[in-house]
Amino acid sequence: MPSPEFDQLAQRLSPTAEIITDLPIDSDYLTDATPNRGSSPALIMAATESDVIEVVSFCHAANRPLVPRGAGTGLSGGCIPLNNALVLSTEKIDHCEINREERMAACGPGLITKQLIDAALAQGLTYLPDPASYEESTLGGNVAENAGGLRCKRFGVTRDYVQGLKAVLPDGKLITTGCYNASHGRTSDSFNLTDLLIGSEGTLAVITEITVELSPIPTPGDTLLVAFDDPADAGQTVTDIVAAGIMTTVLEFLDGDAAACSNEYEKNEGLDRVGAILLIETDNRAKIEQICNNNRASYLRIESDPKKADQLWKIRRNLSLAAKAAAELRLSEDVAVPISRFAELVGWVSQLNRTSKLRINSFGHAGDGNLHVNFMAESDTTINRELITRHVGLLMEKTIALGGTLTGEHGVGLEKKQFLHLEFNPPTLGLMREIKTLFDPACILNPGKLFD
């Protein structure tokens, strides 16, 4: 629908950019993978870096808030428009230029993670960070959240592969950091601005290009599915594997209820009555089998054929869809604790599930001490939302008491800003706020996220 307010802006944008001013209130562009929903006068789909510069400059001049957005798979409410912010989608900026010799790729922020992996594979290389959402999430969102993934214990997270960035500051100026294109020599910044922007959750700048390192394709190891009667035994197995220094490519934990939830969605291996399972990819299966047996594993299956193993990985991959199908209201939180405290946290969550009116289960990239906790209610009522908020508070307090962190990989966004004081002391939080003010004195970029 035409709107005089945006007519002038439209003329400054490239022909394939779009401005949509009549977003329905139930539009996907007003939410993400959390139960939160915002409102916005317009969605702007930028098609080029110049479009981003124009939109940000327009907002700067008019003192209008805006929120950058990728695919909207975020799990902390990061791209939800607050304060009447415009939504600036970078999903159409999805170029991918691979330099085979340098093993680098320069990518638009809208490139889907899987598209980058597929393009790299076609050249005999790969991109190793693999968030479970990799078929949908964008690289811009991955960088803004510093996304982890199933193989992060072995291969690292997004931050470990980003060589440089191009980004538009809240006043519309374009900056380049690090090694910002696929043919630029590797560089070490004096001030590491690349790292400052990674994980900044769309609050400091709008990312317009990401240069990442590509890797040789690793040989797949064996897949192990191991079940335990007691979730604490599975947690202890994780601790023991890591403490023994045994390399795993993937080390995923699902508690009994998460396994049952996945099994309800698609029957697999009769996982409806286990205490917990571990899904492991490794090339050191003998030592791992021994540790599992020492910790009273009740079932162990080893699969060396990648096709058959893929069936087992479905148990983990299905989980988000399974939880969605099982409950009308669901909030998934991600915390991480030191590996030595993993078993304790897992046991605590199981206990909470037994005593709560909510259905609560946990799963995660256990090799990193990373635990996702699903809080689920059959109906979306105010009472259930309040109950979930109370339980989330308990989880945050427990995590900090165990020496952990409020977010393993999903970011702070809207969901966890009220808990930041539990983890960071006032001077640390003060410095973070000062950095935000330095970049964005008028606070037009993604207001209401990270801080109030």
Ligand X SMILES: Cc1cc2nc3c(=O)[nH]c(=O)nc-3n(C[C@H](O)[C@H](O)[C@H](O)COP(=O)(O)OP(=O)(O)OC[C@H]3O[C@@H](n4cnc5c(N)ncnc54)[C@H](O)[C@@H]3O)c2cc1C
- Chain residues in the site for ligand X (CB under 6 A): 32-33, 67-75, 78-79, 90, 109, 131-133, 137-138, 140-142, 144-145, 147-149, 201-202, 206-207, 320, 409-410, 413, 446
Structure tokens that stand for 167 in this block: 């980004």
- Count the residues in the chain: 452
Q: Give the nearer residue to ligand X in terms of CB position, either 291 or 450.
A: 450
Instruction: Work out how close the CB of 268 gets to ligand X at its nearest, in angstroms, rounded to a whole number.
Output: 17
Among residues 12, 98, 23, 20, the alpha carbon closest in space to that of 61 is found at 12
Q: Give the closest residue to 354 by CA, choosing from 257, 230, 273.
A: 257
Residue spans of beta strands (DSSP E) within 100-185: 104-107, 125-126, 162-168, 174-178
Sign of the CA dihedral 395, 396, 401, 403? positive
Q: Least distance from C-beta 414 to ligand X, angstroms?
A: 9
Query: At closest approach, how far in Å is the CB of 286 from ligand X?
Result: 28
Q: Which of 391, 335, 334 shows the shortest CA–CA distance to 358?
A: 391
Token duo for residue 406: 């409020």
The residues, ordered by sequence, that sit 6+ positions from 411 with a Cβ below 8 Å of its Cβ are 74, 75, 76, 78, 144, 145, 146, 199, 201
Which residue lies nearer to ligand X by CB, 131 or 275? 131
Q: Could you tell me the two tokens for 341?
A: 């405290």
Inter-helix orientation angle 306-317/319-326, to 10°: 40
CA nearest to 130, candidates 109, 114, 143, 110: 114
Write down the least CB distance from residue 360 to ligand X, Å. Answer: 18
The nearer residue to ligand X, 28 or 305, going by C-beta atoms, is 28
CB of 101 to ligand X, least distance (A): 28
Nearer to ligand X (CB atom), residue 180 or residue 347: 180
CB of 66 to ligand X, least distance (A): 10
- Name the residue type at position 284: N
Min dist CB 78 to ligand X, Å, is 3
The residue (of 75 and 116) whose beta carbon lies closer to ligand X is 75
Shortest Å, Cβ 41 to ligand X = 17
Quote the least distance from Cβ 265 to ligand X, whole Å: 13
Closer of 94 and 230 to ligand X (Cβ): 94
Residue nearest to ligand X (CB): 141
SS3 68: strand
Nearer to ligand X, 119 or 445 (CB): 445
DSSP string for 384-442: HHHHHHHHHHHHHHHHHHTT-BS-SSS--TTTSGGGHHHHS-HHHHHHHHHHHHHH-TT
Q: Is 90 exposed, middle or buried (0-12, 13-18, 19+ CB in 10 A)?
A: buried
With respect to ligand X, which residue has the nearer C-beta, 193 or 207?
Answer: 207
CA Rg, the chain, in Å? 22
Which lies closer to ligand X via its Cβ, residue 200 or residue 295? Answer: 200
